[in-house]
Chain A
Amino acid sequence: MAGRALDEVFAAGAEGIRLAGDWTLRGLDAHLPALRVALATVHGDARWSLRAVRRMDSFGALLLWQAWGERWPVALEADEAQRAIIGRIEQSAAHALPTPARSPALDGVALLGAGLLAFAGHLAGFVALLGRLVLDLGHLLHHPRDWPLLEISANLYKVGVRAMPVSALVGFLIGVVLSYLSALQLRTFGADAFIVNILGMGIIRELGPVLVSVLVAGRSGSAMTAQLGVMRVTEEIDALAAMGVSRSLRLVLPKVVALTLAMPLLVLWTSAIALFGGWVSAWVELDIGLHFFLQALPDAVPVANLYIGLAKGAVFGFLIALVACHFGLRVQPDTESLSTHTTASVVAAITVVILVDAVFAIATRSIGLPL
């Protein structure tokens, strides 16, 4: 292909320019760099002959039209079809593409305003969804038959049972690492036995719930947002509405209820495994036996901490599911929106969880601490 000579399509002679061959995108492809140079050097009032051109498409015509300086040459030999194709290029100048609006100087302010308005919109939407959920619960109190039990149980399996292996693995490893690093410090002070206090308080009250929340937000929150988002794209949510089925009752409520129920259980499971991992590490590093570990744990960690941990789990689960549904229902029917909303859902869920965790820390500062 590359070896073909330019004179197959373009020849400049004494009587003018003679074009030949295929003046199409594919035909000209191999000659293009040389052809551009050749066309640029042609004199403005040269004679042009297109008699030998076999085929011409709009790309070939565009090249010619540009070479002619966007006007018809004085002397041109071309048949009707060729003139028509080039004529279309001439006319297309009148329909130039609009350019996207340039950003004016005040754009920063407008951007800030738009951001704030979007945030307020999200807040309002979130509150509305919460209100909708409360109304649904009220409805369910009066109509117990309407409980979407099947959906709740399916969601419970998806967000709870299926999350157990990964949360166990992560919990175990975090327990091992935390215990190992603490053991190194404690040994220098000879305070080996306090490893139980550190692991117990840290994991049960704080690390367990937050760790599970981050995992669940990434695993189940994103899945919920993507599912609702795709259901919007494929008009499934509209189909539900057209059948008179409440989307909040059938789609949002089961997810929120299931995650609120599943999270405390996941927290319990993960915390237990993390404590076990911590003990394994403490046993290797500090030679602390399982019997001693289990005996010292209730003394070091008042049981109120367990309740706080479980309560946190329930609240975090509720928030993650609600945030995920909120973003899922706002997805616009295009892929870009789906990806931004899924990202936003996970980021917002984790942020909200950590914010609420701080609130928990302040609200429960006098509960469950030994001494």
Chain B
Amino acid sequence: MSAPVLDDPAPAGRDAVVRLEGIVTRFGRNVVHEGLDLSIHAGEIVALVGGSGSGKTTLLRHVIGLTRPAAGGVEVFGEALDAGGAAERLARQRRMGVLFQHGALFSAFSVAQNIAFPLRELGVMSRQEIDRLVALKLEMVEMEAAHALLMPAELSGGMVKRVALARALALEPELLLLDEPTAGLDPDRSASFIRLIRALHRELGLTVVLVTHDLDTLAQMATSVAVLAERRIVSHASLDETLALDHPFVARFFRGLQARRSRSNGAGAG
């Protein structure tokens, strides 16, 4: 069953798209991250895994700039997150697309307006061009054009995810941040979602960071796995290397996958 991991180890010389150094995050007296380091290189698809409440989403929010760590530095595209003037920060913000866990579609806007919104904010395109690109993005995420006029409240959970992805892709981002992209999708949709992201990764050379609990998503998509445990990144390596790791969290988290792998290997041998 297990799909081959996309064989694309990041060359050491390439620039880090995201670099987190010595991140410390506290919520009240609860310390979530303590001296966390992580570098993500261009073209990687990094799966961020960790137990519930281990601060994966918080880490993602640090990268987006929605929250600030208590200590430590966040660098995106080689520059500190808060470097430069407002225009530079905005330009940097527009180089990343975010898919929030629950879609976060604007409920007052229709599907088409949701996807058009970032394009319209950019202010360099005509209405026809925007409509054309919206139609294209909708098609990319396998939505029918007829759904463009629906309101978010009328969409199913899977459709919300796909529209949110279309919106995240609207500005052709170089860095795509996905929070639980396949949670709540049926296996079929989930598989096509993974295909879609991988195709985009291939064509556009996207760098993708995803938070996921879904082992299938992880195994089929990620070029590397970053394990968040004990308040820091305990390992950042390919899936095979991660599976070989001797760590209690890794053992528990990947138990299903390891079992499946050994079973399929056994079947192949016999």
| B95 interface residue (CB < 8 Å to A) | yes
Picked from A58, A97, A334, the residue with its CB within 8 Å of the CB of B145 is A97
How far is it, in angstroms, between the C-alpha of A212 and the C-alpha of B95 when the chains are bound? Answer: 53
Interface residues on A, range: 20 to 34
Q: Do B134 and A89 touch (CB < 8 A)?
A: no
Q: Which residues of B contact A29 (CB under 8 A)?
A: 124
Q: Which residues of B contact A246 (CB under 8 A)?
A: none
Picked from B108, B172, B205, the residue with its CB within 8 Å of the CB of A25 is B172
Picked from A25, A85, A92, the residue with its CB within 8 Å of the CB of B132 is A92
How far is it, in angstroms, between the C-alpha of A25 and the C-alpha of B119 when the chains are bound? Answer: 10
Picked from B91, B107, B132, B172, the residue with its CB within 8 Å of the CB of A336 is B107
| B10 interface residue (CB < 8 Å to A) | no
| B133 interface residue (CB < 8 Å to A) | yes
- Chain B residue nearest to A92 (CB atoms) is B136
Chain B interface mostly: helix
Q: Which residues of A contact B55 (CB under 8 A)?
A: none
Q: Do B129 and A26 touch (CB < 8 A)?
A: no
- Closest chain-B Cβ to A6's Cβ sits at a distance in Å of 15
| B138 interface residue (CB < 8 Å to A) | yes
Number of interface residues of B (CB under 8 A): 33
Interface residues of B in 186-214 (CB under 8 A from A): 203-205
- Closest chain-A Cβ to B174's Cβ sits at a distance in Å of 8
| A100 interface residue (CB < 8 Å to B) | yes
Q: Do A98 and B95 touch (CB < 8 A)?
A: no
Evaluate whether A95 and B145 lie within 8 angstroms (CB atoms) in the complex, with A25-B171, A81-B203, A334-B107 already known: yes
Q: Which residues of B contact A97 (CB under 8 A)?
A: 112, 131, 134-135, 138, 145, 148
Q: Do B133 and A62 touch (CB < 8 A)?
A: yes
Evaluate whether A84 and B203 lie within 8 angstroms (CB atoms) in the complex, with A334-B152, A334-B153 already known: yes
| B234 interface residue (CB < 8 Å to A) | no
Q: Do B108 and A24 touch (CB < 8 A)?
A: no
- Closest chain-B Cβ to A370's Cβ sits at a distance in Å of 56
Pairs A–B under 8 Å by Cβ, sample size 25: A24-B172, A25-B122, A26-B91, A26-B95, A26-B172, A58-B172, A59-B125, A59-B129, A66-B129, A89-B132, A91-B139, A92-B136, A95-B138, A95-B144, A95-B145, A96-B135, A96-B145, A97-B131, A97-B148, A98-B148, A333-B107, A333-B153, A334-B151, A335-B108, A336-B108
